[in-house]
Structure 1
Amino acid sequence: MTHSRILLFVFGLLAATVRAEKPSCCAEAAAGEPLSALSLYQLEAAFTNDRNESVTLAEFRGRPVVLTMFFASCGYACPLLVGDMTRIRDSLPAEIRDDVAFVLVSFDTERDTPEALAKYRDERALGPQWQLLHGNADAVSELAALLGVKYRQETNGMFSHSNLITVLNREGEIVHQRNGLQGGLDETAAAVAQIEASP
């Protein structure tokens, strides 16, 4: 083999390596394309999860998200909401179940510390696909407004609130909302599965 042919062979191997390591078009799009005006990921507020890590909603970009707002000391509606979300997760095909993020954002900016949320996770055996988030009053209020969730704190420290489960597509846009407790979940699960089926 001549010297020039050896060089061409080496360059060919390098080019193949670069092509193999280059991220897919979808990964590039997720990282580089601007968010739409409808994306909740435009919200810049930082939340804190139950591991005391700072999290922005934009970190869920690229995954389907099922989200609700709740508070850990809620005795009735919130356990039903979380139960509904668990049923949604269980109804998804096994091969996509772990690709979906299930996000709980607390109304209670004072009591739902990372430690309180970690205890809530343990008590309900919520797996790693679940994110439990705490934010300041402004972050919670802004997110609630974007979701269409109404809430207020009562004199006893509890919260009255909408019972709304929201599905976000990979770009953080609302594609489905389900209002109420313990109703049918087929449409919600179908909305999640449709996102997973899309390129």
Structure 2
Amino acid sequence: MSPRVRLTLMVAGTLALAAIAAVLAFAVGDRAVGGTAFQGAVRPPDIPPAEFGLRDQDGKPVRLDELRGRPVVVTFLYTTCEDTCPLTTAQIRGALDDLGHDVPVVAVSVDPPRDTPDRARSFLLKHKMTGRMRFLLGERAELARLWKAYGVQPQGEGFEHSASTVLLDARGRQRVGFFSDVLTPEALAADIRRLEAEGPGA
């Protein structure tokens, strides 16, 4: 084999090894980024905590500042819903089961005239979320401020409410959002775990 051919083969081999190394590095880096990225849609970082003080299905007060220190799941439902709301509730229940422990979950009414305490309790019982989810009720004026803070359209005649679920971090900030068509137990559980890993002071 001539020196020229030998040199050509050596250069080609070196380039091939470099290309393989680059592909492997990219693949590992891509997995690392994917492993730490949120599954849901990341919310803008400058949204302040939307403080609230409402009552749940049992008439007990619920305040956001009392839930600080761990992630909180906030979703928007109505008790007479027969499709999206039961599905959303099932996905959240699945996420809690996947986690192996519960985190605070609050469902905010989007149909205050029809969402009564009795209906809210029945909804939670039917969907196996009694003791795992609190259904926040109130007058339209009380709830409207919360709908606005989360960009939610309430239920109305001839149109459906915004079916969204939002994850708050330990400081009460909106961090990740899911629309109902992309919400899965696995994705929600993964994002809760990431927020838990940040710790209470993140």
| TM-score (normalised: structure 2) | 0.68
CA distance in 2, matches of 1:117, 1:127: 10
After the TM superposition, list the runs of 4 or more consecutive aligned residues in structure 1 that deviate by more than 3 angstroms.
Answer: 182-187
CA distance in 1, matches of 2:175, 2:131: 24
- Larger RCO (CA within 8 A; separation ≥ 6): 2
SS of 1:172 mapped into structure 2: coil
Residue 50 of structure 2 corresponds to residue 40 of structure 1: yes
Residue 143 of structure 2 corresponds to residue 140 of structure 1: yes
How much has 1:107 moved relative to structure 2? 1.2
Give the corresponding residue for 1:188: 188
Residue 125 of structure 2 corresponds to residue 128 of structure 1: no
Matches within 5 A, 1:23-172: 38-41=48-51, 43=52, 46-92=53-99, 94=100, 97-98=101-102, 100-154=103-157, 160-172=160-172
Inter-CA distance 124–187: structure 2 relative to 1 (3 Å threshold): closer
Inter-CA distance 122–187: structure 2 relative to 1 (3 Å threshold): closer
Q: Which amino acid aligns with 1:73?
A: T
Q: Which amino acid aligns with 2:144?
A: S
Question: Does structure 2 conserve the Cα–Cα contact (< 8 Å) formed by 1:164 and 1:180?
Answer: yes
Inter-CA distance 184–114: structure 2 relative to 1 (3 Å threshold): closer
CA RMSD for the aligned pairs? 2.1
Question: Does structure 2 conserve the Cα–Cα contact (< 8 Å) formed by 1:81 and 1:181?
Answer: no
Identity %: 27
Give the number of the structure whose alpha-carbon radius of gyration is greater.
2
SS of 1:161 mapped into structure 2: coil
SS of 1:67 mapped into structure 2: strand
How much has 1:110 moved relative to structure 2? 1.9
Q: What are the Cα deviations for residues 60-81 of structure 1, in whole angstroms up to 9, with x where unaligned?
A: 1222111111100011111111
Q: What are the Cα deviations for residues 124-157 of structure 1, in whole angstroms up to 9, with x where unaligned?
A: 22142311110211222111111111234106xx
CA distance in 2, matches of 1:120, 1:185: 20
How much has 1:162 moved relative to structure 2? 1.2
Instruction: Please identify which structure carries the higher strand content.
Output: 1
| TM-score (normalised: structure 1) | 0.69
CA distance in 2, matches of 1:73, 1:180: 17
How much has 1:37 moved relative to structure 2? 6.7
CA distance in 1, matches of 2:183, 2:71: 21
For this pair of structures, how many residues does the alignment match? 154
CA distance in 2, matches of 1:109, 1:162: 15
CA distance in 1, matches of 2:107, 2:68: 16
CA distance in 2, matches of 1:181, 1:37: 24
Question: Does structure 2 conserve the Cα–Cα contact (< 8 Å) formed by 1:48 and 1:114?
Answer: no
